[in-house]
Amino acid sequence: MSKGRFHNKNKNRNKQISPEQSVQAAIEAGSKAKKEDLFRPVEDLKLDENLLGYLKAGRINILADLACRDFQQMYKIQNIGRKQCLLIAGALSKFGIKFAKETQQDNNKPQQRDTKDRNRDTQRANNDKRNSGNVDASEQFSKKNKNNFENAKLNQYLSKLYNGLTMSEILMGRRERPATEKIEREALTEKSLVKFCRKGKWGYKDWKGNVIVAPQYEEAFGFSEERGCVEMDGKLGYIDRNNNLVIDFKYDCANSFSEGLASVTVGEKSGYIDPDGNQVVDFIYDIATPFSGGKAIVRLDDRWGVLSRETLSVFWR
């Protein structure tokens, strides 16, 4: 449903840490590499220029910044996936450095075997209780925790499931189109601007590859409806195609403009603004998606609804 991407920002991501703190974090994560190697700049890994740019954009400056992270934490960096992590891991191995999860797994192997034995003994004891027809309080507590965990997973699944559905699909509880739908990118035109990265900074080029906005931002997102969402000092704002700041850097999360409005987040609550930065919908929602076909999906206190672009009223499910 989204015409633009939803750009989440972790609040802790804004906090800058020193190289010494990164090295200490890597050591606490179990790294046994030499300190002088942990202080090495990421350029020593001899990675592809684009991959190096992604790391720099994600505030990865020295090898210790990698040694204190695991794969899941690396995936939060834009354009970094499993393939890129494996390439980085191979380059790190030349200096005897591993990602944090690999190191912790090596250190915890004996403990994992002990845990496996204890789990097997517990399972046998529980089987004996079932055979005798007795279910104690600890088993009931375990079932309750399992149900809570499954409910949390279900809520996460539904959040993804409802995103992109029509109002009828949500209210009637049925899907009116195939489960998988190929997303086609809009063809480039003379008015199109495409983001690009150079030396860890982002800017925009036109459809012929000419630089329109020089790379100067920590991140740049899809340019839509004469507005580009960009990041500076950990906050998001909007520029026009002449690189004039139209909406100040004050949002923690932001969305590309769609149908004249953009969903933005301050703190933990989301609302909608117009191209001039005026608040159109109050910041009350836990989730607010971009408009598509005159509708947007919102969530408030575990309730899902459809927000009408015409009336700005919500039909609650």
Nearest to 50 by CA among 152, 202, 165: 202
Helix (H) or strand (E) holding 73: helix 71-74
pLDDT value at position 115? 56
pLDDT value at position 58? 85
Q: What integer is the mean pLDDT of 256-276?
A: 94
For residue 314, how many other CB atoms are within 10 A of its CB? 17
In this predicted model, what pLDDT tens digit does every residue of 174-201 receive, in sequence order? 555 555 555 566 678 888 899 999 999 9
Residue 243 scores a pLDDT above 80: yes
Residue 298 scores a pLDDT above 70: yes
Q: What's the pTM value of the predicted model, to 2 decimals?
A: 0.45
CA distance 300 to 94: 50
Q: What integer is the mean pLDDT of 45-51?
A: 88
Q: Which amino acid is at 58?
A: G
Least confident of 40-44, 49-53, 113-117, 160-164: 113-117
Q: In the chain, what is the greatest distance between 2 CA atoms, to the nearest angstrom?
A: 77
Residue 294 scores a pLDDT above 90: yes
pLDDT value at position 10? 44
CA distance 33 to 176: 55
pLDDT value at position 241? 93
